[in-house]
């Protein structure tokens, strides 16, 4: 099997995202690199107007991006001194680095690493806006954490992150819109409390490929961080638009090229050489290009085979 990238489709997706966000002049784009993890793709994104940097999920991703992308947001919490030091070292090399925190312990790790490297790191308070994963649970906790951050001179409070990943794949348009609106309302409540306590939020970041238009229109986010759009992840085509039709904004640009290695005509079965080790099943079985969902039943034949 081989991973194949259709460049025309990739570039069309990148342009379309920028063009759509053109209707929201106060909202910047910070695409997430966790899907592509590729400097060359990040550079194509960075060449688009109003793209301010990239998001990275892991420190290793940030290390890979740092020399080519000058502004990185780490969207996951730091839990070990070694990772904090690696992140701070990027700032020493001249990259603008911001990290999210939801506890003072994590912030103190970052502060110690920044002190060692002789740099100052930006930080965002990570807010739980409905996913119940990471993040502080509400305005009081956010203000308390911001006050703790103010005692760490190596850190610069910049604002908040409020990402609702569960909303991205809600199929019904009105339900997806409502979930995004609820997340924006929770983020707005936290921003209001922080600013009332004297902490200005220059950055309010969140959103994804499934909700970015709702997020941009909310009036609370200063930037959005969609990522999967570059590859046209087919699962997003199962989301519905306002008319009840499948979302067709994105062209699929990433494929796994597989070979038929066996055919059973009587059983109407073919076997491909791309199994669990070549394709992901976390959003269901793969689709065959040009075939609708109902055209074939796809089954895993093991680590190296797929039966469509």
The mean per-residue pLDDT over the stretch 139-143 comes to 98
For residue 249, is it within any domain?
A: no
Closest to 161 (Cα-Cα) out of 35, 271, 56 = 56
Residue 79: per-residue pLDDT? 95
Position 306 pLDDT exceeds 60: no
Residues 233 and 269 in one domain: no
Band (pLDDT 50/70/90 cuts) for residue 301 is low
The mean per-residue pLDDT over the stretch 183-192 comes to 98
Closest to 72 (Cα-Cα) out of 89, 190, 10 = 89
Residues 87 and 220 in one domain: yes
Residues 154 and 294 in one domain: no
Looking at every residue in the chain, the average pLDDT score rounds to 93
Domain that holds residue 279: 258-307
For residue 245, is it within any domain?
A: no
Cα 48 to the center of its chain, rounded Å:
18
Place of tokens 């688009």: 48
The mean per-residue pLDDT over the stretch 188-217 comes to 98
Closest to 154 (Cα-Cα) out of 100, 94, 109 = 109
Pairing of strands 2-5, 254-257: antiparallel
Q: Give 247-297 pLDDT, tens digit per residue.
A: 989 999 999 999 999 999 998 888 888 888 888 887 777 888 877 665 667
Q: Give 78-130 pLDDT, tens digit per residue.
A: 999 999 999 999 999 999 999 999 999 999 999 999 999 999 999 999 999 99
Residues 232 and 270 in one domain: no
Position 303 pLDDT exceeds 60: no
Residues 130 and 168 in one domain: yes
Output the six-digit token pair for 304.
Answer: 């190296």
The mean per-residue pLDDT over the stretch 51-71 comes to 96
At which of 205, 238, 271 does a domain end?
238
For residue 47, is it within any domain?
A: yes
CATH value at residue 150: 3.20.20.10
For residue 247, is it within any domain?
A: no
Band (pLDDT 50/70/90 cuts) for residue 307 is low
Determine phi and psi for 25, rounding to 5 degrees: -65, -15
Residues 289 and 171 in one domain: no
Q: Is 191 helix (H, G, I), strand (E, B) or coil?
A: helix
Distances, alpha carbon 187 to alpha carbons 29, 136, 175, 205, 235, in Å: 18, 11, 19, 9, 27
Position 8 pLDDT exceeds 90: yes
Residue 18: per-residue pLDDT? 96
At which of 186, 207, 238 does a domain end?
238
Q: What's the rounded Cα separation, in Å, for the pair 190 and 142?
A: 7
Is-contact 97 131, C-beta < 8 A? no
Q: Give 209-257 pLDDT, tens digit per residue.
A: 999 999 999 999 999 999 999 999 888 989 999 999 999 899 999 999 9
For residue 253, is it within any domain?
A: no
Q: Which of 32-36, 156-160, 206-210, 284-288 is predicted least confidently?
A: 284-288
Residues 110 and 11 in one domain: yes
- pLDDT cut 90: percent of the chain above it: 82
Residues 61 and 32 in one domain: yes
Q: How many CA atoms lie within 13 A of 29 on its CB side?
A: 28
Beta bridge partners of 157: 123
Instruction: Please tell me the total count of domains within the chain.
Output: 2
At which of 238, 268, 298 does a domain end?
238
pTM of this structure: 0.92
Position 178 pLDDT exceeds 60: yes
Cα 257 to the center of its chain, rounded Å:
26
């Amino acid at each position: 099997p081989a991973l194949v990238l259709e460049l025309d489709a990739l570039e069309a997706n990148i342009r379309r995202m920028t063009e759509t966000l053109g209707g929201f002049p106060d909202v910047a784009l910070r695409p997430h690199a966790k899907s592509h993890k590729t400097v060359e793709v990040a550079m194509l994104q960075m060449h688009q107007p109003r793209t301010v940097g990239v998001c990275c999920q892991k420190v290793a991703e940030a290390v890979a991006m740092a020399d080519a992308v000058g502004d990185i947001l780490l969207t996951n919490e730091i839990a070990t001194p070694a990772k904090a030091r690696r992140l701070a070292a990027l700032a020493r090399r001249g990259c603008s680095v911001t990290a999210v925190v939801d506890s003072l312990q994590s912030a103190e790790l970052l502060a110690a690493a920044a002190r060692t490297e002789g740099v100052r790191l930006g930080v965002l308070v990570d807010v739980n806006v409905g996913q119940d994963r990471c993040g502080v649970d509400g305005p009081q906790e956010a203000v308390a954490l911001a006050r703790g951050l103010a005692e760490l001179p190596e850190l610069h409070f910049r604002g908040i992150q409020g990402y609702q990943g569960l909303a991205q794949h809600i199929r019904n348009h009105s339900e997806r819109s409502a979930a995004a609106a609820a997340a924006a309302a929770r983020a707005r409540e936290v921003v209001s409390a922080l600013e009332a306590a004297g902490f200005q939020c220059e950055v309010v970041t969140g959103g994804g490929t499934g909700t970015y238009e709702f997020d941009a229109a909310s009036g609370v986010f200063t930037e959005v961080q969609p990522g999967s759009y570059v590859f046209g992840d087919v699962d997003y085509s199962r989301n519905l638009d306002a008319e009840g039709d499948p979302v067709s904004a994105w062209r699929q640009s990433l494929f796994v090229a597989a070979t038929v290695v066996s055919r059973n005509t009587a059983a109407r079965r073919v076997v491909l050489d791309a199994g669990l080790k070549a394709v992901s099943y976390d959003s269901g079985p793969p689709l065959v290009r040009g075939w609708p969902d109902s055209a074939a039943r796809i089954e895993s034949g093991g680590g190296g085979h797929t039966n469509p």
